[in-house]
Structure 1
């Protein structure tokens, strides 16, 4: 079964540059370990209206979505409320989340206040995602999975979701990549060949990445390659290499 996975990263601190995002690189690795890959990455600030609009569109789609950040109970956390608004559902205190938050509060000597319990208020019908660090859970609604912004919490929670709910999709569509460096050809010269290969090899994507020489801009080279299913990528790569040589390209 085909799987498209999106990542949503939430936080003003990312957009302002106050903090550098770490989720994209690590989530990409987590997925690759399971034969999966990202189809889309989005970064949004802590704006409830904008989050609601984004999530309304996202919930209507078919992607599996992992959302990192904004599920706390401070004034700058809006993800839980935006998810509920996007779904047209009320926020309700999840009983299992209430028990976990109450137990955690007692462990660290804090009173169980309504403010702390707000962290367990999720859109009606949500299920929880266990948090191995402090036991304050995230939540899932359908194919959307919401975890904290803290990497040490978010990443094992994403792994738990994948291993618990999507194991049957692992390595179902493994892709590989083959590439070489070519000199002496312009991308425009290579484009017809690239289009022919994609036409004749369904499921194959051909890519070209120019590598510019900052001293001599006209003296550039191109990383040229194909990526796609293991069973078909070698034939497409051989066609790309032979066609490049036919065009008098110099392969490194």
Structure 2
């Protein structure tokens, strides 16, 4: 199972807001011995959101989607998820009760009587309209739930809500994956070398050690550092050490100048 992240919002793509979800999700996953496999940023475009979800629903991936589940005209994620699965949007009864309880609470805090039948409050119930068969994701901030469809989890764009909801999903539904595949990483800095000269070594390492990935991160250098490539291996610990030793032996055979990277 690969873990994916979808971040939705014109405000992210326009630069009006800086995305905070990507680094936080990396942190939440790393704390549980997990890694993010892919991420996509999408605009508030129902056609594009629907097409993306139709594609990801066809996989076995665990997918977190942040944003677009409110009740304003630019919130398309709920309807797009239903369209991607070919299911109707239906009012989730427990989700409805949660929203109504929140309305009553806000009215009491303001010293008013809650009018659950007002047009404004009836419109708020749209936040409990999900694709048929959806399950709720509890929202500890205001009790207005997100929703799950299979292994796709939809949370608000607000970090104060989204992050504890993602943690809840991981701890409640996917604890069996935690640390199942612990990973390690070893790397060196190779100086004044061309990636093309290192590629055969990289290919040979991945062929010989199927449990690892080889990575190459070039740097053109500047006034303070020389041109170099961070070359390393990551993956299953039982193969990383052997693969790293082979990598160093290969660099020695190429008479490359390199130094280990301290982690």
1:197 to 205, 215, 227: 205
Offset at residue 184 of structure 1 (A): 3.6
1:131 to 108, 133, 139: 139
Map 1:27-66 to 2 at 5 A: 27-66=25-64
For residues 102-144 of structure 1, the C-alpha deviation after alignment (integer angstroms, 9 at most, x for no partner) is 1011000153322011111111100000000000000000010
Map 1:194-233 to 2 at 5 A: 194-214=202-222, 220-233=227-240
For residues 27-62 of structure 1, the C-alpha deviation after alignment (integer angstroms, 9 at most, x for no partner) is 011011111111110000111111111111111111
TM-score (norm 2): 0.92
For residues 186-232 of structure 1, the C-alpha deviation after alignment (integer angstroms, 9 at most, x for no partner) is 21111111111111111211111111124599x51111100010111
Moved over 6 A (4+): none
Mean CA deviation greater in 138-147 or 56-65: 56-65
1:246 to 250, 253, 259: 253
Mean CA deviation greater in 37-46 or 206-215: 206-215
SS in structure 2 at match of 1:162 = helix
Is structure 2 residue 243 aligned with structure 1 residue 236?
yes
Which 5+ residue runs of structure 2 have no aligned equivalent? 108-113
CA RMSD of aligned residues (A): 1.4
For residues 122-176 of structure 1, the C-alpha deviation after alignment (integer angstroms, 9 at most, x for no partner) is 1110000000000000000001000000001001000000100000011111111
Per the alignment, residue 100 of structure 2 pairs with 102
Is structure 2 residue 171 aligned with structure 1 residue 167?
no
Mean CA deviation greater in 111-120 or 138-147: 111-120
Is structure 2 residue 174 aligned with structure 1 residue 176?
no
Per the alignment, residue 91 of structure 1 pairs with 89
Offset at residue 95 of structure 1 (A): 1.1
- Tell me the matched-pair count: 249
Which 5+ residue runs of structure 1 have no aligned equivalent? none
Per the alignment, residue 72 of structure 1 pairs with 70
